[in-house]
Amino acid sequence: MVYSTVVSNKPADPLEPLSYRDMATPLGDLRLVASPKGLRGAWFTDQELLPAADGWTHTESDPILEQARRELEEWFAGKRQGFDVALDPVGTTFQHQVWHALCALDFGKLTSYGDLARTVGRPKGAQAVGGAVGRNPIIIIIPCHRVIGADTALTGFGGGLPRKQALLAHEGNRYVSRNPRARRVCDGQAELPW
């Protein structure tokens, strides 16, 4: 995966050309957003953090958006476990450290906020890591759904706990409840939940 780092504490340049398209998934529609350098964002269209599309160009022909759409369809179909699309998220240096660490997680591998904090060299920074995970602008491809509590609790997810539960089940991790305190019940063969 190519990760083009844009480190900024400010919003993205409003004059930068951004393209977007929506795609249907088994878990609801996703909005994909691309800069000229890579995928800038991927959000479920009902997420609170979905930015307004003001100034973006709607297109079905952008090559980055098309690659992201194709790879996500393959992932949902069980034909892909990783992504190759170039990424261009905007965030702080610390957020990028956390997002890079998330990208290094293998398909089906889970981590806790504390373990992720240790991975990025901030062993007492689990809460800060939680904030960076919660601001992940590229859902699924930067796999924030793989972060759970130290006790295997489901915890939260910007796309909603039903979606997190389904994404984890797709990767072989079972939760029988959508309660944030629900614990993982087993690791098993991945079965498509949809």
- Residues designated catalytic: 144
Q: Which residue has the tokens 């959000």?
A: 43
Alpha-carbon span 171 to 169, nearest angstrom = 5
The pair of structure tokens assigned to 91 is: 């965030």
Alpha-carbon span 55 to 52, nearest angstrom = 9
β-sheet bridge partners, residue 41: 33
Q: Which residue has the tokens 């990025």?
A: 120
Determine the distance from the C-alpha atom of residue 112 to the mean position of all C-alpha atoms in its chain, rounded to a whole number: 15
Alpha-carbon span 102 to 147, nearest angstrom = 8
Determine the distance from the C-alpha atom of residue 164 to the mean position of all C-alpha atoms in its chain, rounded to a whole number: 10
Alpha-carbon span 8 to 129, nearest angstrom = 17
> What would you measure as the largest C-alpha separation in the chain, in angstroms?
48
Q: Is the separation of the CB atoms in 98 and 130 below 8 Å?
A: no
